Structure 1
Amino acid sequence: MQLIYVGDPMCSWCYGFGNILTELTETRPDLPLKIVVGGIRAGATDILDDAGKRFRLQHWTRVEKASGLQFNRKGFLAREGFIYDTEPICRAVVTARAFAPGQNPLPLFCTLQRAFYMDARDTTATDVLVEVAAGALADSGLDVSKQAFRDLFESDSVKQATQADFALARSWGISSFPSLLVEDRGQLQLLAMGFTSLDILNNRLNKVLGERAFAAA
C-alpha cells in the first residue's frame, strides 16, 4: 500500500500543498510515497508577459492565504523573457528518482519548489536544476556529482520516463494538481484532487484504512 502524489513543482497550489503532504507522510511512515509528475505546462514556448505574470500572482495570493507559505513576487516580476515550461523541472524530479529509488522523493520536490517560488531562480534552466537537485541529493546522503546528474537529466531515457509520467497522470483522469491517491494491491483510490487540508486528508485516509481492515477481517 502506498500514497501516490501527482503534481508539478512549478504549480503554485502544489507548492502550497507541500507542508501538508510533508506532515501527512511524517505521521504515516508505514505508507511510502511515490511522486508522478504531471507537467502542468510541459513544453510551453510562449514568453510570459505582464498579463500572464499578474494572472499568476492572483493565484499566488490565494495559495498564500490558504497555506501560509510565502512567495517571492519581486523576483518573479523582475524576470524578463521567461518561458513557463515545467518539463525541465519535472524531468529533474524523474532524474533524482533514478538516483534515489528507495528514498522519500518529497524533500527534493519541495527543494525545487522553494528554488522557484522563494529564491526566484530560473528552474527552467538546466544549470540551475542540476545545482539545486544534485545539492539536495547530496544533503540526503547520496554522492551524486553535478556532471552525473546532468548526464542522466539530458538522456533520452529520462526524457521518455518524464513523458511516461505525464501520460500516466492523464490515464488516471487527473485534471487538477495537486492530486493524492492511495494504491492498495494495484487498485487506486483518489484521496484529493486539488489543495486539501490535512484534517480532510487524514479523515479520508482513515476511512480507506478502516475499510481495508474490515475487508481483511
Structure 2
Amino acid sequence: MARLVYVMDPMCSWCWGFAPVVEALAGQARQAGVALHLVAGGLRRESRVMDERGRARIQSHWQAVHEATGQPFDLSGGLPDNLVYDTEPACRALVTARSLADGCASRLLGLIQRAFYVERQDVTRPRVLVELAEQAGLDRQAFAEGFDSQAQRQATEADFAWAENLGIAGFPTLLAERDGTYALLTNGYQPLDSLAPLLDRWLERGVRG
C-alpha cells in the first residue's frame, strides 16, 4: 500500500499557508493512484481565553505566513473574540469526517481553515464545525453525533499519540508511506517547486519497484 500522510492541525497557520502546496501534491500523487490521508497532530490545548499579548503574538505569525506564502488572512480583525485556543475540537471534526467519508475530510479541512483565518469564525465551537461539515457534504446529524461521541474523542487522541510517537514535533509534516515504510517529504513549510520533484522521485521508485 502507498499513500501520502499529511500530519497537520487546522488551526496551525503554517498549515494554512501550505494548503495550496499540499493540494497540488495530492493531485500529483492521485495521478499515480496514491491517496492522501490526513492525521490530526494536535497543536494547542489552552483552557483560558487568550490575552492581548498572546493575540498579538499569533497576529505576528499570521503576518509572517501571509508574507511567505501569499495565503489570505484577516489581518485587520485578527483572532475571533474570546477565543480559547484549543485545537482539539477542530481536529476532532476532521477525524470524525474521515470516519464518515474519507474524501470529505480534506474539504472540511479547507473550510475550517478559511473560516478561521479569513472569515474570523471561532472554529473551536461545535455549532460552527457542524455547519462547516454540512458544507463539506457530510450529513449534519451523523456528523454531530459522531463529533460528540467518546469513540471520536478517543480516535482524535490516537491521532495525536501517533504523531507524537513518530517524533513529529512541528506542522505541516508530509510523509510518503509505502508498505509501512515512511519517507519524509517535509517537516515545515516548503514551496511546491521544492517538493514536487521529491514526490516525483518517490513515485517513480514505486513504479520501478
Q: Normalization by structure 1: what TM-score?
A: 0.90
1:54 aligned residue:
56
Alignment-mate amino acid for residue 31 of structure 1: V
CA distance in structure 2 between the aligned counterparts of 1:149 and 1:87, rounded to whole angstroms = 16
1:75 to 71, 74, 77: 77
d(CA) in 2 for partners of 1:18, 1:125: 22
Aligned to 1:141: none
Report SS of the residue matched to 2:119: coil
Instruction: Name the aligned partner's letter for residue 48 of structure 1.
Output: M
Q: Which structure has more strand as a fraction of its residues?
A: 2
Higher mean alpha-carbon deviation, 3-12 vs 125-134, is at: 125-134
Identical positions, percent: 41
CA displacement, residues 78-102 of structure 1 (integer Å, 9 cap, x when unaligned): x43211000000000011111103x
1:105: which partner in 2? 105
Cross-structure match for 2:36: 33
Contact 1:33 1:104 in 2 (8 A): no
Distance (whole Å) between structure 2 residues aligned to residue 67 and residue 105 of structure 1 = 23
1:3 touches 1:180 (CA, 8 Å); kept in 2?
Answer: yes
Is residue 2:131 matched to residue 1:131? Answer: yes
Structure 2 residue identity aligned to 1:105:
A
Q: Secondary structure at the match of 2:176?
A: strand
Closer/same/farther in 2, CA of residues 213 and 149 from structure 1, 3 Å limit: closer
Per the alignment, residue 85 of structure 1 pairs with 86
Contact 2:7–2:172, Cα closer than 8 Å, also in 1: yes
> C-alpha distance in 2, partners of 1:149/1:200?
37
Tell me the residue number matched to 2:149: 155
Unaligned runs of 5+ in 1: 139-143
Q: Does 1:94 align with 2:95?
A: yes
Q: How many residues are treated as equivalent by the alignment?
A: 206
Query: For residue 200 of structure 2, what is the aligned residue in structure 1?
Result: 206
1:66-116 Cα offsets, whole Å, 9 max, x none, are 211111133335x43211000000000011111103x26322211110011
How far apart are residue 213 of structure 1 and its match? Answer: 4.3
For the residue of structure 2 that corresponds to 1:174, the secondary structure is coil
